[in-house]
Amino acid sequence: MMFKTGSTLPRAQRTFPMLAALAGTLLAALLYAPLALAQENEEQTLILADEMRFDENSNTVTAIGNVEIERDGRILIADQVVYNQDTDVVAASGNVTLVDSNGSVLFFDTAEIDGELKAGFAREVQVLLADKSRMAARLIRRRDGNINELRRAVYTACDLNCDGDPVWQIKARKVIHDQDNKLMTYNDAWVEVLGLPVFYTPYLAHPDPTADRQSGLLAPAIGGGSNLGFSYAQPYYWNIAPDKDATLTPLYTSSAGRGAIGEYRQLFREGELSLFGSLVVDDDDNPKDFRGHVRARARWDIDERWRTGADVYLASDDTYLRRYDFDAPTWLTTNAFVERFGTQSYFSANAYHFQRQRRTVATGSTPLVAPLIDYSFVGKPVRGGGYFTADASALALYREDGSDQTRLSTTIGWHVPHISQGGSMYTLRATLRGDGYYVRDVIDPTNNTSFTGFEGRAIPQVSMEWRYPVVRTGSVLTQQLEPIVQGIISPNGSNPSNIPNEDSRDFEFDDTNLFAEQRFSGYDRVEGGARVNYGLRWSAYGNSGKSVDVMVGQSYRFKKDTTFALNSGLDGHFSDYVGHVTVRPTSYLDLSYRFRLDQSDFSTERSEFSASIGNPMFRLGANYIFIKPSDPATPEFGDREELYAFFDTRISKHWSLTGSHREDLGVGGGSIRSSIGIEYEDECFVFGLDIADDNTEDRDFQSGFSVILRFTLKTIGEVRLSSSVGVDQ
């Protein structure tokens, strides 16, 4: 240890200027200069103190009063420090604090530390770690400047108060904090919650607060129920490199086999890659009966304009994801793409594969789409404000069993927006679209014949839209009234039966597409004929976010179009009435109503109502939907009527309660799913209890009652316990 005396004098000089100057000069010349010459290449130690003394007989230096010693990023603070130059031992006493280079702070009454502040010994120590978690121990031994060994230690990440024990703590016979490897290990440890021992382990380890990522075992997931029986999943995290990691989770179930779950993630300078999947042997008697899934995502930026990527989502069968408690959407979509973003254009090429996860579909009937190519161009405005657009699309669709399709579509358009001096807003559009198809094995339902060959069509279209927004501003309320009229002219009969409907099946007439020039979402069906769309919108806005928005409209066709199904709302001359009403009278209440009413008797064809009331402390809401079937040819679906209600409340600072219920209100309906959950969360601990009654089932996935318990200890991890009971129906 070497003292740099120039850093020790200022405090003494402020009290005894002349004496301090003389003492500093003599001390530097007689005592420390030879030591400095001998150790000029070693790390220097800086010291500040109110008073310093040197004892030649014992060869000790004593620093008294507000002592601060700094060496190699470590700082020792004490009321008094005695340094023995023969033994290279620092004895500190009185409010001793050691600030480590990693941000940890150690507190003791007395301590003995070597001159480099790397090794030492102390009793009755308290430790404040870098993330504000805490430790206390009867004894601490410090070695190599990076390893602290604590005996009879207690650790917690909770804030301490005078009310008693923290929410949770770990008591261990021995704790070793390896600061270089950023790891804390416990021997003979008990986990206590609310002062009660709940779990014992002979060995426990977790990263210290300074670790970004650390390889090791994560908290397990334990479950039991009718679908899997008893289940145990033990994840292991592997920190491969700063840009990549992996997690491998062996899985055991008593009723549904055993296997493993794996995840791999990697970041690149130009992109990212993630892989997640599972593999399970479901039948002990037949080890070749494999089930599993894979979900992958890749993105790669080729340059500033080009990007490519892929999303892969596949499962071995339609119930695997739900039975093994993975995310299970209705359709699993696999997509590979490349795209280009231009200043005025956009290009993309895609390939798609679909897999159904609910109602069984015929094997081989799900299409493979490869490729789907789209291109869009928007020209710069010319004099008068008009601009040119061009769009193109190409598609190849294949099936193992059913019809195939190859399509090429192009559309060119001219658009002229204009605002008159009186405030009227006009938009004139003229487009010409051409579609060419080659189809194979298309069945004509009218005569049950099959067609293979070429089919084409050309669709010119002209439209004019007029809007006249009128605004009235008041001291409390601002109102806007806007009538809208749109006229469209295009040929009738643009949907020959030889063109199959692949991409335009999902159609619903509502207020969102009332003024769409083409209401079908895809290319295979075209809305033709002369028609007029008209509507009226009124809105009002007040202070503090208060608002009302009302819109109602209708469409008139000069000639009926059989393209639209019966009960679609567009099968006659006059369409059904569509619109919406949204009301927000205060920041605590939101109301929304969307509707489609029969044009002849105003009976309800479709209703969607949602309401929510409350603040962040308590929120209550409900959603109601009623839909009549749009196609009488499929009466098995019938009317759909459903109610969903939920609430979310914060009982106190740390406790919250949530609940929801979904009910089928149709004929033969009933409860779909009900759930309730309670959660406690503070700065160091999360406890959750979720209870659900699910009445959906499919093959080997059973409906029933489920309970999930979640315990999360900050810095340690989460333990998840689940149980379910199936119900035979």
For residue 209, give Cα distances in angstroms to 118, 538, 678.
20, 56, 29
Query: What pLDDT is stored for residue 222 in this prediction?
Result: 85
| pLDDT surpassing 80 at residue 29 | no
pLDDT tens, 397-419? Answer: 999 888 899 999 999 999 999 99
Higher pLDDT, 193 or 483: 483
How does residue 205 score in pLDDT terms, banded at 50, 70 and 90? confident
Mean pLDDT of 228-232: 86
Calpha distance 97→122 (Å, rounded): 11
How does residue 490 score in pLDDT terms, banded at 50, 70 and 90? very high
| pLDDT surpassing 60 at residue 284 | no
| pLDDT surpassing 70 at residue 267 | yes
Query: What pLDDT is stored for residue 699 in this prediction?
Result: 63
Calculate what percentage of the chain has a pLDDT beyond 90.
Answer: 46
Query: What pLDDT is stored for residue 634 in this prediction?
Result: 52
How does residue 726 score in pLDDT terms, banded at 50, 70 and 90? low
Quick one: which of 703, 672, 675 has its CA closest to 689?
675
How does residue 57 score in pLDDT terms, banded at 50, 70 and 90? confident
Which residues fall within 8 angstroms of residue 522, CB to CB, at 6 or more apart? Answer: 502, 503, 504
Higher pLDDT, 620 or 494: 620
Calpha distance 662→437 (Å, rounded): 44
Mean pLDDT of 233-260: 92
Query: What pLDDT is stored for residue 25 in this prediction?
Result: 34
What's the CATH number for 5-207?
2.60.450.10
Mean pLDDT of 686-712: 79
| pLDDT surpassing 60 at residue 443 | yes
Mean pLDDT of 165-192: 89
Calpha distance 314→278 (Å, rounded): 11
How does residue 3 score in pLDDT terms, banded at 50, 70 and 90? very low
Cβ atoms within 10 A of the Cβ of 84, count? 17
Where are the strands (E) in 469-512, listed by range?
Answer: 470-473, 477-489
Tokens of 688: 């959750």
| pLDDT surpassing 60 at residue 10 | no
Calpha distance 723→353 (Å, rounded): 35
| pLDDT surpassing 80 at residue 32 | no
| pLDDT surpassing 60 at residue 46 | yes
Higher pLDDT, 649 or 88: 649
CB 577 within 8 A of CB 594: no
Q: Which of 117-121, 409-413, 532-536 is least confident?
A: 117-121
Secondary structure of residue 235 in the 3-state scheme = coil
Tokens of 118: 């790397």
Query: What pLDDT is stored for residue 37 in this prediction?
Result: 31
Mean pLDDT of 277-292: 76
CB 362 within 8 A of CB 401: yes
Burial of 562 (0-12, 13-18, 19+ CB in 10 A): exposed
- 490, containing H or E segment: none
Higher pLDDT, 263 or 443: 263
Mean pLDDT of 193-202: 87
CB 655 within 8 A of CB 678: yes
CB 666 within 8 A of CB 640: yes
| pLDDT surpassing 60 at residue 607 | yes
| pLDDT surpassing 60 at residue 285 | no
Burial of 284 (0-12, 13-18, 19+ CB in 10 A): exposed
| pLDDT surpassing 70 at residue 638 | no
Tokens of 616: 């962040």
Query: What pLDDT is stored for residue 457 in this prediction?
Result: 94
Strands 577-586 and 717-726 come out as: unpaired
Quick one: which of 652, 729, 714 has its CA closest to 683?
714
| pLDDT surpassing 90 at residue 649 | yes
CA dihedral of residues 666, 671, 672, 678 (deg, nearest 10):
140
Is it true that the peptide bond before 371 is cis, omega within 30 degrees of 0? yes
Calpha distance 507→529 (Å, rounded): 18
Query: What pLDDT is stored for residue 190 in this prediction?
Result: 92
Query: What pLDDT is stored for residue 363 in this prediction?
Result: 57
| pLDDT surpassing 80 at residue 20 | no
Tokens of 182: 């950023």
Q: State the chain's mean pLDDT as an integer.
A: 85
pLDDT tens, 160-170? Answer: 765 667 888 99
Cβ atoms within 10 A of the Cβ of 518, count? 20
Calpha distance 232→257 (Å, rounded): 11
Listed by start position, the domains of the chain span 5-207
Count the residues in the chain. 729
The pTM of this model reads: 0.76
Burial of 241 (0-12, 13-18, 19+ CB in 10 A): exposed
- DSSP H helix total and E strand total for the chain: 4, 42
